Structure 1
């Protein structure tokens, strides 16, 4: 196998692994709304704890959807139980990481929907990988590939959403 073929296979494997987190993050946004996780409460600094963007509905539906993706992956390639467990950890971790990112943004005075480069793109990946690493070994090579691909995918998808009129800004 050539080096380029091995690299492509490694990239595809990394994307396959992180797919439950990607789907959970997307589903959390698509199915979100209603009651915010922080219930509208403020932190002792007087600012919202997380904000209106992270909701119970998004957290629940995102976790369920991502876990289902993991279960399907488990049936197709892994072991079904492994797929369910890793799917849950990646999904819930992604949404937890997104909530932590929102918490950080509120602390440093960045409002909802305002950009926080790198944090906006990688908070959910960090949460997903941290939780998943409690159950499985994740190489630094895989982490690096996921981080770089996530930055690229995020930028491209935001540009497409902007051009389609779904977003007000391209980033």
Structure 2
């Protein structure tokens, strides 16, 4: 149980960055400046590469937000004398420069590991809102993938940094997926999101 609490304490800045990223990108001024990563271009099959939902601004914002929130979280844990609660600080010094870089790395990996999922969905003509258009197998597959895709990169990186076992990494990805669902449910409740 202690390990799970430490995992959540370690990952809290990234979770928060994901929420803030979504909120900020709903601000009309920022939303109007979102340009898709794929530049609106199509793949060889004539379909979009990633789609409009993956934007350059979203990618940059998530990366920077995660870095800044990691620095803030580091200061907070330091002030409360709780450094040992974070898995990172069992192996690395709680320093602003490290926190900013590791936060940015986590934010970057969060966004990067969402791209293959988007690419596959465009190939199969699966919309983000409909998740498989009634095709039950695809609907379930992409629902699960949407919850854990960004976790793969982050947890692999964290696993290397803090020496997690493969079983711990898989369990962390599973917990990340459950957390993603719960956070999305809250965002739907507060009308920030329209669907899971």
TM class, shorter-length: 0.7 to 0.9
For residues 54-80 of structure 1, the C-alpha deviation after alignment (integer angstroms, 9 at most, x for no partner) is: 111111111111011222334433321
Contact map agreement 1:18 1:90 (CA 8 A) in 2:
no
Query: Structure 2: how far apart are the matches of 1:117 and 1:127?
Result: 18
Confirm or deny: 8 A CA contact 1:122 1:150 kept in the other structure: yes
Q: 1:73 to 1:156 in 2, by over 3 A?
A: closer
> What count of residue pairs does the alignment treat as equivalent?
162
The answer as to whether partners of 2:155 and 2:172 remain within 8 angstroms in 1 is no
The worse-fitting range, judged by mean Cα deviation, of 36-45 and 14-23 is: 14-23
Query: TM-score normalised to the size of structure 2?
Result: 0.70
C-alpha change, 1:28 and 1:168, in structure 2 (3 Å) is closer
* 2:49–2:119 CA contact under 8 A, matched in 1: yes
Contact 2:41/2:49 (<8 A) preserved: yes
Equivalent residues of 2:156, 2:169 under 8 A apart: no
Shift of the 70–138 alpha-carbon distance from structure 1 to 2, 3 Å rule, reads farther
Q: Quick check: 2:112–2:150 contact (8 Å CA) kept in 1?
A: yes
1-side partners of 2:163 and 2:43: how far apart?
Answer: 34
Aligned to 1:50: 50
Match of 2:103 in 1: 87
What is the RMSD computed on CA atoms of the aligned residues? 2.4
Native 8 Å contact 1:51 1:112 kept in 2: no
Structure 2, unmatched stretches of 5+, are 26-30, 84-88, 132-141
- The corresponding residue for 2:64 is 64
How far the C-alpha of 1:20 sits from its partner, in A, is 3.4
Q: What is the CA–CA distance in structure 1 between the aligned matches of 2:183 and 2:7, rounded to whole Å?
A: 19
Q: Choose from 143, 154, 159 the match for 2:185.
A: 159
8 A Cα contact 1:68 1:84, kept in partner: yes
Q: Does the C-alpha gap of structure 1 residues 159 and 22 become closer, same or farther in structure 2, counting only changes over 3 Å?
A: closer
Q: Distance in 2 between matches of 1:133 and 1:142?
A: 8
Cα distance in 1 between the residues matched to 2:117 and 2:163: 22
The offset of 1:40, in angstroms, is 0.7
- Per the alignment, in what secondary structure is the counterpart of residue 114 of structure 2? helix
Structure 1: state its 5+ residue gaps: 1-6
Contact 1:31/1:62, CA 8 A, preserved across alignment = no
- CA-to-aligned-CA distance 1:106-148 (integer Å, 9 cap, x gap): 12221133332211001111122345556x1441354234323
Q: TM-score normalized by structure 1?
A: 0.79
